[in-house]
Amino acid sequence: MTKFSGVPAYYPDKEAIELLLRASTTGHLVLSTFHIKTAPTTFTQFREYGIRGEAVASELKAIIAQRLVRRLCASCREPDDRPASLQTLIDHKFEVAAGGALYRASRQGCPACHHTGYRGRRMVYELLRMTPAVRQLIEADAPISRIAAAAFQGSYRRMWHHALELVAEGVTSLDEIHANVPEEV
């Protein structure tokens, strides 16, 4: 039977990570949070601590990386007609309807959003699954870019892509995701 352990450490150090790894080898399901840029860069952090891929590859189930982006205020959002904005979506193979669902925050806002242009937040995320190919690359301490390429195929999209979906739906703005969501590995 799998035992469950919650871990109250938000920024575990090397010793804490080693402890978590030991717990995971004894039949506990260990959940932990890390302060990282994207899911694959978890391994950059491990390597900086001198923790080799082979020590984590067999026990790790998955990594979810998430960020919050602000939602545009539906009462005062304005069409984003900047050519560069549309081009960004086209470059990422998004279809934007004629007339567009592409919006940016109103500079002066409105009473509904306390004049900020934004109301509420949405999570954007990416899920790194441990497929056999990903596991092999982690064991071999392969470059992070190769781990990322293997992990994000098919329907497994990057956090940046998820954020762009919200832009294409008019939920948030390109300005907001440029400021809060990392584009690279």
Q: How far apart are CA 28 and CA 21, in angstroms?
A: 10
Residues that bind Zn ion (CB under 5 A): 73, 75-76, 109-110, 112-113
CB of 10 to Zn ion, least distance (A): 33
CB nearer to Zn ion: give 31 or 112. Answer: 112
CB nearer to Zn ion: give 72 or 167. Answer: 72
CB nearer to Zn ion: give 24 or 173. Answer: 173
Q: How far apart are CA 21 and CA 59, in angstroms?
A: 8
CB of 112 to Zn ion, least distance (A): 5
CB of 117 to Zn ion, least distance (A): 6
Q: Could you give the C-alpha distances from 56 to 7, 42, 146, 147, 160, in angstroms and in order?
A: 17, 11, 17, 14, 26
Q: How far apart are CA 34 and CA 58, in angstroms?
A: 19
CB of 163 to Zn ion, least distance (A): 21
CB nearer to Zn ion: give 74 or 101. Answer: 74
